[in-house]
Amino acid sequence: MPPTIRLAVMASPVLADLWIEEAIRPDLLEVTTWMSLEEIRSYRRLTPDEPMLLHGGNLLGAPLSEALERNLALLAAETRTPWVSVHISLWPWRILQDAQQHGRQPSALDLGPHLEDFFARVRGIREKIGVPLLLENAPSLPGIAKDPESDPEMIAAVLEATGCPFVLDLSYAQTAASNWKLHPEDYMRRLPLRRVVEIHLSAPGRLEDGRLVDTHEALREEDYRLLAWLLQQTAPQVVTLEYWKEPRALLEQVVRLKDELAGRHA
């Protein structure tokens, strides 16, 4: 029998308003480092006996001030989070722009000291918070063909070099696959699936020119199909729905995800 996968949902006012409905209640809540301590404590009342998952977004994209490090440690303690998840944020935008302006594909050689700075921030955060750091695949950058930050080989190399477990964001993977002109399954097969500890779920949107872009939309049938495929390839501890927009859509997604995960366990 496969291990039980817990369902988490990103905390939001919409979720809190629906909490009276038993069906909406997940196993865990996800909160972010850009929420205030007061906001996080307001969500803590919904699940007082459970840890909360702490997500840092692009926290690694810039040097960390002492004040930011202290706040991160405070939030980690407040949430009792089992880990902190952050995006792989290697590429300063100006480097990508410079490569575009010179008509060439950016490569790891462009990173120079930025790569070591990134690794130093990874080490620093792990030491400061005292819990594992999970790295998340990057979304494709619109307008950058085969952008290096979503290169599956680069993602695998960074995870191997840091020793960090992996958060696989399904929407990010779909936008990257579209940009790399790959089917989503073919793109994800190139990622280090054995390292997956958590899966982030939402659906991508489309720009006017047809390109996919991450906009945290409600899950479609295609997303449920890809999730089912992904759960055959990985052994995550948590699946996290990152949707907070329309109440009925949120409720329907939570109910269906509960059924999907329960069916897998059965």
Tell me the pLDDT tens digit for each residue of 33-91. Answer: 999 999 999 999 999 999 999 999 988 888 888 898 899 999 999 999 999 999 998 87
Residue 104 has pLDDT above 70, yes or no: yes
Q: What is the mean pLDDT of residues 253-262?
A: 96
Q: Give the pLDDT confidence score for residue 143 in this predicted structure.
A: 65
| Number of domains, the chain | 1
Which residues sit opposite 169 in a β-bridge?
A: 200
Instruction: Please say whether the beta carbons of 131 and 84 come within 8 A.
Output: yes
Q: Which residue has the higher pLDDT, 231 or 117?
A: 231
* Tally of CB atoms within 10 A around 255: 13
Q: Containing H/E element for 229? A: helix 221-233
Residue 142 in domain:
yes
Residue 159 in domain:
yes
Query: Distance between CA atoms of 198 and 166, rounded to whole angstroms?
Result: 7
Residue 43 in domain:
yes
Q: Give the pLDDT confidence score for residue 142 in this predicted structure.
A: 61
Residue 123 in domain:
yes
Query: Distance between CA atoms of 128 and 208, rounded to whole angstroms?
Result: 43
| Full domain range(s) for residue 194 | 6-265
Q: Give the pLDDT confidence score for residue 90 in this predicted structure.
A: 82
Q: Give the pLDDT confidence score for residue 168 in this predicted structure.
A: 98
Residue 265 has pLDDT above 70, yes or no: no
Mean pLDDT of the chain: 91
Residue 102 has pLDDT above 80, yes or no: no
Residue 144 in domain:
yes
Residue 1 in domain:
no
Residue 128 has pLDDT above 90, yes or no: no
CATH number at residue 241: 3.20.20.150
pLDDT band at 13 (very low <50, low <70, confident <90, very high): very high
Closest CA to 14 of 1, 24, 26: 24
Q: Give the pLDDT confidence score for residue 239 in this predicted structure.
A: 98
Residue 92 in domain:
yes
Q: What is the mean pLDDT of residues 253-260?
A: 97
Question: What SS3 class is residue 92?
Answer: coil
Distances (CA, A) of 199 to 71, 147, 231, 265: 25, 22, 9, 16
Residue 50 in domain:
yes
